């Protein structure tokens, strides 16, 4: 794999390698003994992905470069390709890109000499989010096979839904969708459950935000949406004892989930955010290694004691 663009490009072995590497980064500190720059080019708003990439880069000893799109030469009409080439020319060793276009990577056309990591592409792909979600699920269940995982909400406009459904199916889970009929996408080929079925049968209930910025004409009052399609306190009580709640964030409290459930006992929403740092460290090092920009002996273990317990090997 040249660039880290899509879950489609990842084999099961590669996914497991990345999850095991993330677990090593969770349990130990590592640092790369070479000066390297990581450019973070975010053309769409982001809090979790952008900040966790920056934390991941700093933890590894990389120097983050941050583009503020509104204050950059993008405003003067510079293209994505020319922006990316500029960062390469001034010394970036890896590019992390989020852009509203589904296929923004086609503009780069593999013409760069440094690795590119997809931090979110339109409605199509969000591979590092899928990795952190898979890692959070593995932390809980130590397996994927035959887990019932339901993705609930605005499936139609969600890159998280697409990437997660593909990754979790590859890993052996049973993936379902649920939500308002106008927000489903039957062409993806996953079974669609009623919300009541999903709540009672799922080991993992993954809620999605309504992507208002990506569509028009689906307007519900928050309370009406919550009652019809969201996770209310009453529905949460019907979940299996062991079942967990995920949400990629940002959360619309009181819309797709009752506000009191965001930090309830079965919520793993903030664990997902923490895990985002470890999986992004894993993806950054894998790309730098694949490209020969670093070698294994340049990744130094910094601590001598385990800080946290590793999870069972995948």
CB-based burial, 233-246: b 16+ in 10 Å, e otherwise: eebbeebeeebbbb
Q: Which is nearer to ligand CP, 152 or 299 (CB)?
A: 152
Closest separation in Å from C-beta 296 to ligand CP: 30
**Minimum CB distance to ligand CP smaller for 92 or for 161:** 161
> Nearest-CA neighbor of 262 among 202, 194, 207, 197?
207
Which residues are 246's β-sheet partners? 206
Binding window for ligand CP (CB under 6 A); candidates: 42-50, 88-96, 135-143, 252-260:
42-50
Residue 112 beta carbon to ligand CP: minimum distance, rounded to whole angstroms: 23
CB-wise, 4 or 299, nearer to ligand CP? 4
Least separation in angstroms between CB 164 and ligand CP: 11
On whether the CB atoms of residues 97 and 41 are closer than 8 A, the answer is yes
Q: Find, among 136, 163, 97, the residue nearest to 274 by Cα.
A: 136
- 85 contacts ligand CP (rule: CB under 6 A): no
Count Cα atoms within 13 angstroms, Cβ side, for 31: 9
Measure Cα distances from 243 to 140, 202, 229 in Å: 10, 7, 18
The only residue of 28, 48, 214, 253 in contact with ligand CP, by rule CB under 6 A:
48
Task: Tell me: does residue 253 bind ligand CP (CB under 6 A).
Answer: no
Least Å from the CB of residue 49 to ligand CP? 3
Binding site residues, ligand CP, CB under 6 A: 46-50, 120, 129, 248-250
């Amino acid at each position: 794999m040249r660039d880290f663009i899509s879950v489609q490009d990842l084999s099961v072995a590669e996914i497991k390698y990345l999850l095991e590497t993330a677990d090593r980064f969770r349990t130990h500190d590592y640092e790369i003994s070479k000066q390297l720059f990581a450019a973070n080019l975010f053309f769409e708003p982001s809090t979790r992905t952008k900040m966790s990439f920056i934390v991941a880069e700093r933890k590894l000893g990389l120097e983050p470069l941050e583009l503020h799109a509104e204050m950059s030469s993008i405003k003067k009409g510079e293209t994505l390709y020319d922006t990316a080439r500029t960062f390469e020319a001034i010394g970036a060793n890896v590019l992390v890109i989020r852009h509203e276009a589904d296929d923004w990577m086609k503009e780069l056309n593999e013409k760069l000499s440094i690795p590119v990591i997809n931090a979110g592409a339109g409605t199509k792909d969000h591979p590092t989010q899928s990795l952190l979600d898979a890692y959070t699920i593995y932390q809980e269940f130590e397996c994927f096979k035959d887990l019932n995982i339901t993705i609930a909400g605005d499936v139609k406009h969600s890159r998280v839904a697409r990437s997660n459904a593909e990754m979790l199916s590859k890993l052996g889970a049973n993936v379902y969708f649920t939500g308002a009929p106008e927000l489903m996408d039957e062409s993806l080929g996953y079974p669609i459950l009623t919300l009541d079925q999903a709540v009672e049968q799922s080991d993992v209930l993954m809620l999605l935000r309504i992507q208002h910025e990506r569509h028009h004409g689906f307007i519900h009052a928050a309370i009406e949406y919550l009652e019809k399609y969201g996770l209310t306190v009453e529905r949460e009580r019907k979940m299996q004892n062991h079942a967990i709640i995920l949400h990629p964030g940002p959360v619309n409290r009181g819309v797709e989930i009752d506000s009191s459930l965001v930090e309830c006992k079965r919520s793993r929403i903030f664990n997902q955010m923490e895990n985002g740092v470890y999986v992004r460290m894993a993806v950054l090092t894998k790309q730098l290694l694949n490209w020969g920009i670093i070698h294994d002996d340049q990744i130094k273990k910094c601590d001598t004691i385990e800080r946290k317990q590793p999870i069972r090997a995948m």
